[in-house]
Amino acid sequence: MNINDQVIDFLANTERLSDYCDDTAWIGDEVNVILHDSEDDKLARIRDLYYQVFSKLATFVEDEHDTTPNASWLYHEMITEELLEDEQ
């Protein structure tokens, strides 16, 4: 699994998304619009919204984890979480 996929998986499974992503207020606003929209397939639209944000952040981490402090921090958090899961 490459770094991009690892970051997406990490973000999708974290209980503390707001610790890693500044867009959580925007996501909440968008989810509210989707939930109150009459169109079908709300769940898929919400998943697509989250995936869009996760992909953007994952690309940033993959490209910048060696040079940018925020990307390096998120990369370290992801690796640490994976190591803890492997120990269990």
- State residue 31's pLDDT score: 95
Rounded to whole angstroms, how far apart are CA atoms 80 and 19?
A: 15
The residue range of the domain holding 64 is 3-87
pLDDT per residue over 2-52, tens digit each? 999 999 999 999 999 999 999 999 999 999 999 999 988 999 999 999 999
pTM of the model: 0.85
Domain total in the chain: 1
pLDDT for residue 84 is more than 80 = no
Residue 82, pLDDT score: 81
> What CA–CA distance (Å, rounded) separates 12 from 20?
11
Give the pLDDT confidence of 50-73 residue by residue, as tens digits: 999 999 999 999 999 999 999 999
